[in-house]
Amino acid sequence: MSTASFASAQASLLTVTVNVPATASPGEIIEIFLEASFNGTLINSVSFSLRVSYVDGGHIKWQYPWVYRFSTGVFYANYTIPKNATGVYWVQASALYHKFSATDVAGVTIVPYGTAQSSSSVICNLSSWLVALIYAVPSIALTIVAIALAILLRKKVIVVQDR
């Protein structure tokens, strides 16, 4: 009994989070962002296994995109949705840090190109990019977020810089 509770306590130390757009169209390149933390602190020295799985012709298929480090504790991969894609593509990330492991899964719903729903994937990709930028360049992130939101909301923005 104590072994089970000890194992669950260990599993909670390492956390991995998968961020993908909610929807994508066939032929679109999606950005997959992964975040790894240990005891709430972002970490770099983690090993990832990233798998995209989907159903094709009644068979489950897998592909394994390369994972790259973006910044401390933040990693990314690009994946091209096949031109004949339908259904949901599942992205599973498994992380290993010393003797600890964690897994997270997220789904991307495939929608026809040019539909109103597919435009939300552009917003998801933009917001993923903005989140990644915030991690990489905190000094200009607030200005960029304000401008991006203004563009999305089609409003005029006046940027005041503190001197």
Q: What's the whole-model pTM score?
A: 0.63
Q: Which residues contact 133 (CB under 8 A, 6 or more apart)?
A: 141, 144
Closest CA to 111 of 27, 20, 52: 27
Domains and CATH numbers, the chain: 2-153 (2.60.40.10)
The pLDDT of residue 138 is 47
In angstroms, rounded to a whole number, what is the distance separating the alpha carbons of residues 28 and 81? 5
In angstroms, rounded to a whole number, what is the distance separating the alpha carbons of residues 138 and 5? 39
Q: Which residues contact 88 (CB under 8 A, 6 or more apart)?
A: 54, 107, 108, 109, 110
The pLDDT of residue 145 is 56
Distances (CA, A) of 99 to 46, 47, 51, 102, 108: 11, 11, 21, 10, 30
Q: Which residue has the tokens 């961020």?
A: 19
Where helices occur in the chain by DSSP H, the ranges are 2-11, 118-136, 138-153
Give the chain's end-to-end CA distance (angstroms, integer). 61
In angstroms, rounded to a whole number, what is the distance separating the alpha carbons of residues 125 and 53? 20
The pLDDT of residue 11 is 44
The rounded average pLDDT for each run of 10 residues, N- to C-terminus, in the chain (163 residues) is 35 86 94 94 91 89 92 94 93 94 95 61 52 50 57 54 48
The pLDDT of residue 78 is 96
Radius of gyration of the chain measured on its C-alpha atoms: 18
